[in-house]
């Protein structure tokens, strides 16, 4: 399943096309389904063994499609409906992380585009729609003159916005596969802000995998990613974004339960560094779903 009705439709189409090519190269019979209008706009072919979810954003990543497939009793890749719903909500994710003892940047929730800058806070801060993905609506605010316009832009994408302390340090991401962390990827945006444009503009960002951290810091980053994944009840796979402060302390930003899966996306990069090429990664994701449906716990 690819495309869908969310703001991340174009990225999802690219993810789905890459996955379909890889699965066909392995000899699988693949049907591509695009639920453009969400519920009721699609039907599975008879005899479908497993649904590979290549959807992003609302409907695909927020637990909705997962609940619909649960009702149908059809196995699907990735996290279940509750974990997907939790992870898609940045506030709920942070609350779960804090309850599990996982460090995450200080935050406050805003529900009005006229909200004042939080009392006692200092710049820089980051504004994020509570329920969006792929950096949609993300705003980096460096000074008071930017506050009103940045908040108004973020509020275009949700009725609640997270105002988060911006951690100064190195930006990383940790892929999780079968409850094990993959090698850490470091992300270096040429603009200094890893936003939507930096993610999807060729040459705008450099990636380093495995990231060049000392073994202790690497283990700390991987442990934070895995703990956040478990805190939201994740299964099979996900990608956890982690900022690493100069003193080596990791702060979890969010959990992506259906991360990008083009051949140059971050989870596949990490899998390659861990010895798993792109088709093999797609195959492993399918196997995890089928094993679970057969009652085998990995």
231 shares a domain with 261: yes
| Structure confidence at residue 77 (pLDDT) | 98
Write down the pLDDT at residue 155: 96
Q: Is 200 a catalytic residue?
A: yes
* 35-75 pLDDT per residue, tens: 998 888 899 999 999 999 999 988 999 999 999 999 999 99
Between residues 23 and 198, which one has the greater pLDDT? Answer: 23
Q: 59 catalytic, yes or no?
A: no
Task: Decide if 60 is inside a domain.
Answer: no
| Mean pLDDT across the chain | 93
Torsion on CA atoms 207, 211, 217, 218, rounded to nearest 10: 110
Q: Provide the pLDDT for residue 192.
A: 60
Domain that holds residue 133: 107-165
| CATH label of the domain that carries residue 231 | 3.30.470.20
- Catalytic residue, from 3, 4, 6, 8: name it: 8
Set 200, 207, 263, 287: catalytic member: 200
Q: How confident is the model at residue 294, as a pLDDT?
A: 86
Provide the pairing of β-strand 180-181 with 125-129: unpaired
pTM > 0.75: yes
Q: Indicate if 150 belongs to the active site.
A: no
Query: What are the pLDDT digits (tens) for 80-124?
Result: 999 999 999 999 999 999 999 999 999 999 999 999 999 999 999
- Please indicate whether residue 239 is annotated as part of the active site: yes
Q: What is the pLDDT of residue 38?
A: 86
Is 241 marked active-site?
yes
List the CATH number of the domain containing 118.
Answer: 3.30.1490.20
Catalytic residue among 241, 263, 287, 293: 241
Give yes or no: residues 185 and 244 share one domain: yes
pLDDT at 204: 66
> Do 255 and 273 reside in the same domain of the chain?
yes
235 is known as an active-site residue: no
Q: What's the pLDDT at 187?
A: 95
Q: Is 157 a catalytic site residue?
A: no
- pLDDT tens string 220-274: 999 999 999 999 999 999 999 999 999 999 999 999 999 999 988 999 999 999 9
Determine the Cα–Cα distance for residues 177 and 167; give it in Å rounded to an integer. 26
């Amino acid at each position: 399943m690819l495309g869908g009705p969310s703001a991340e439709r174009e990225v999802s189409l690219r993810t789905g096309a890459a996955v379909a090519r890889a699965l066909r190269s392995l000899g699988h019979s693949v049907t591509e389904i695009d639920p453009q209008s969400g519920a009721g706009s699609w039907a599975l072919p008879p005899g479908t063994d497993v649904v590979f979810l290549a959807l992003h954003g609302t409907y695909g990543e927020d637990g909705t499609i997962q609940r619909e497939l649960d009702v149908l009793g059809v196995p699907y890749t990735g996290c279940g409906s509750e974990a997907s719903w939790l992870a898609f909500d940045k506030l709920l994710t942070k609350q779960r992380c804090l309850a599990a003892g996982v460090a995450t940047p200080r935050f406050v929730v805003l529900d009005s585009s006229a909200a004042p800058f939080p009392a006692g806070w200092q710049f820089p801060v980051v504004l994020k729609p509570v329920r969006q993905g792929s950096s949609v609506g993300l705003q980096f605010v460096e000074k008071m003159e930017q506050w009103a316009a940045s908040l108004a832009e973020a509020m275009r994408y949700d009725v609640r916005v997270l105002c988060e302390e911006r951690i100064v340090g190195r930006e990383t991401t940790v892929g999780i596969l079968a409850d094990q962390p993959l090698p850490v990827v470091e992300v270096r945006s040429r603009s200094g802000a890893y936003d939507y444009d930096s993610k999807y503009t060729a040459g705008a960002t450099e990636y380093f995998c495995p990231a060049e951290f000392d073994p202790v810091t690497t283990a700390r980053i991987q442990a934070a990613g895995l703990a956040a994944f478990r805190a939201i009840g994740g299964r099979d796979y996900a990608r956890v974004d982690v900022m690493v402060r100069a003193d080596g302390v990791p702060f979890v930003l969010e959990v992506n339960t259906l991360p990008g899966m083009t051949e140059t996306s971050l989870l596949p990069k990490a899998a390659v560094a861990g010895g798993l090429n792109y088709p093999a990664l797609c195959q492993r994701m399918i196997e995890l779903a089928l094993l679970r449906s057969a009652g085998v716990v990995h």
